[in-house]
Amino acid sequence: MRMKASSNSFRNNHSSSFRDPSGYVFVDNNVLKRAVLPKYFRQYNALKASGFYKKVIKHSLLIPHNESKTTKDSIELIPEEIPFITYPYEWSFSQLKDAALHTLKLQNYAVSNGFILKDATAFNIAFHRGNPIFIDTLSFDFYSSDSPWKAFKMFVQHFLSPLVLAHYHGPTILKLLQTHIDGIPLSLTTSLLPRKSKLNPTILTNIHLLAKAERKYKNQTDKKTKEIKVKKERHLNHLDALYSFIQGLNVNQKTEWGNYYENIHYDDTALDFKKNQISEWISYLDLKTVVDIGGNDGTMVRSFSHDLDFAIVGDIDENAVDLNYQKIKEQKDANIIPVLLDILQPTPALGFDNKERFSIINRLNKFKPDLTLALALIHHISLGGNVPFLKIAEFFARFSNYLIIEFPNRNDDMVQLLLNQKRDFKNHFDFYSDENFERDFGVFFEIEKRVAIPKSNRILYQMKTI
Amino acid sequence: MIVLYFDPGLGAMLVQALIAAAASVIVFSKNVKAKIQNFFSNKKRGKPHQDSININEDESKF
């Protein structure tokens, strides 16, 4: 255990908070709080007295907090609540890019004000009210004159490397962050990058050269890093150069589902009917929180989001998630959060004891939305993933009291395609019918409404858990 | 300064000093380029303001 505190302090400790000895996060009567330990009092008091906290909060760089209790052993803070946390491996390219820029901006501001970011993990960023925000209030330390940024390697592994990899290989590679929660190792990044990447001076120096130096000096633990100096002006220029480079980075990938609503031959009447019907049910039942599983770019949720408090929009496609994020930024949709979500392979629990980062199922269960939306999805799970109706019903019944689900029958184009792809095993899927669907979902739900969507081969259901 | 809970990497520190020096040249040339572009470009048709790493102290998002 790295923390010098009595084992008592760990009793209510949040299971993802143990790495940094400056303090820890804990849950007290369902309220998330942060304890500052005496070891960090000097920094904390300076950050407060200098007005630095006030300024970074004012500029929306750091999550606001209130001091709730002060004793000689700890200072207790209550940070502003973030409704739903998504992890870096559930972000789209633009989200990771904005999180990287946000981190650099904060480091630049800190150094200019006599402080420094002592770590640069992507888990210190959350998306809140449509924008990235830094959530680790205790990540600052004093900037001592001309000292280098000790979290630089961490920044490269958590942000620069995955972004550059996605630039060359497409956004799917960002999932590497799931298997490397401490950032992508430099050696792995360099082995995956094409040779031509060395022609770019920023990638050559900040990744390739860095990896080489790390390999060379890996075992020289006797040398003191204190002797290394980086002039403040150069330090700030380095941050500026990284900022400009990342700002200009893009990801080359054609969209598969990203412009779903433009590509699909979905009749406008059917789509409008669906929007109006769902909106009517939501307002009648007075539902305020929603998780849309397979919500594409958020088009559906956006049509009634003004009536909601909060909506989580998941999708399997990186481009759809990215498009949703872009729309959230453009339209200032403060109550929508995008999340990359493959329902056949949901984000698992990760880290030490599998408790450091929660699974998406765990987070959704805790959030407990009023409604689960599953539109144009069941055939992908049932026919694409071979999951029986009963299992799907049991799965959906765990999230929320209400479920609005769309069932495309066997005449639907997509269902036809999925069935034909089964070739010789097509007969194995004879069970796929609305009768069987209703029978199996009826085990876990009471089917309250059943409406055929006009000009389509689809049925819309409103269900309530039994 | 408090003790770090991770290894910053000696190689990373050494390279950082080099990159930071090189970055100063890049940033300097970028600024010169921007000034030249500004000089020749029609302000009305100029590029939309790009987000910068620097915080404008007078500007608050609230």
- For residue A271, CA distances in Å to A261, A276, A400, A402 come to 9, 9, 24, 21
- In angstroms and rounded to an integer, the radius of gyration of the C-alpha atoms of chain B is 18
Order the strands of the A65-70 sheet from edge to edge.
Answer: A23-28, A31-36, A75-79, A65-70
* Amino acid A10: pLDDT: 46
Distance from the B21 Cα atom to the nearest Cα atom in chain A, whole angstroms: 6
* Amino acid A9: pLDDT: 44
Using N-to-C axis directions, what is the helix angle for A318-331 and A93-112, rounded to 10°? 50
For residue A327, report the phi and psi dihedrals to the nearest 5 degrees.
-65, -40
Instruction: Determine the Cα–Cα distance for residues A18 and A14; give it in Å rounded to an integer.
Output: 8
- Those residues whose C-beta lies under 8 Å from the C-beta of residue A6, and which sit 6 or more positions away, are none
Query: Using CB atoms, which residue from A150, A206, A233 is nearest to B4?
Result: A150
Residues 40-79 of A with CB under 8 A from B: 40, 43, 58-61
Instruction: Annotate A347-382 with DSSP letters as a single string.
Output: PPPBSGGG-SB--HHHHHHHH--SEEEE-S-HHIII
* Amino acid A12: pLDDT: 61
Distance from the A156 Cα atom to the nearest Cα atom in chain B, whole angstroms: 10
Query: Using CB atoms, which residue from A142, A238, A247 is nearest to B19?
Result: A238
User: A464 by DSSP, 3-state: which?
Assistant: strand
Q: Cβ separation of B60 and A61 shorter than 8 Å? A: no
Beta strands in A156-304 (DSSP E): 289-293
Q: Which residues of B touch A61 (CB under 8 A)?
A: 55
Q: Which residues of B touch A238 (CB under 8 A)?
A: 16, 19-20, 23-24
Task: Give the CA dihedral A326, A332, A334, A337, nearest 10 degrees.
Answer: -10
* Amino acid A268: pLDDT: 82
Nearest CA in chain B to A240: B53
Q: Which residues of A touch B30 (CB under 8 A)?
A: 241, 244
ipTM above 0.95, yes or no: no
Instruction: Determine the Cα–Cα distance for residues A295 and A158; give it in Å rounded to an integer.
Output: 27
* Amino acid A93: pLDDT: 97
* Amino acid A228: pLDDT: 85
Residues A403-431 pLDDT 10s: 999 999 999 988 998 888 888 887 788 89
What is the pLDDT tens value at each position of chain B, 62 positions in all?
556 777 788 888 888 988 988 887 777 777 777 777 777 775 544 454 568 899 887 655 44
* Amino acid A6: pLDDT: 42
Distance from the A160 Cα atom to the nearest Cα atom in chain B, whole angstroms: 14
Nearest CA in chain A to B14: A228
* Amino acid A36: pLDDT: 95
Query: Using CB atoms, which residue from A61, A141, A216 is nearest to B1?
Result: A141
> In terms of Cα–Cα distance, which of A97, A84, A64 is closest to A128?
A84
Q: Which residues of A touch B24 (CB under 8 A)?
A: 233-234, 237-238
Torsional sign, CA A71, A72, A73, A78: positive
* Amino acid A407: pLDDT: 96
Q: Are A80 and A65 in contact (CB under 8 A)?
A: yes
* Amino acid B56: pLDDT: 82
* Amino acid B8: pLDDT: 80
Q: Is A242 within 8 Å of chain B by CB?
A: yes
Alpha helices in A20-160 (DSSP H): 41-49, 52-58, 93-112, 152-155
Q: Cβ separation of A233 and B60 shorter than 8 Å? A: no
Q: Which residues of A touch B5 (CB under 8 A)?
A: 2, 19-21, 119
Distance from the A251 Cα atom to the nearest Cα atom in chain B, whole angstroms: 19
Query: Using CB atoms, which residue from A153, A156, A205 is nearest to B22?
Result: A205
Distance from the B49 Cα atom to the nearest Cα atom in chain A, whole angstroms: 13
The stretches in chain A having pLDDT less than 70 are 1-18, 221-226, 252-266
Q: Is A252 within 8 Å of chain B by CB?
A: no
Q: Is A19 within 8 Å of chain B by CB?
A: yes
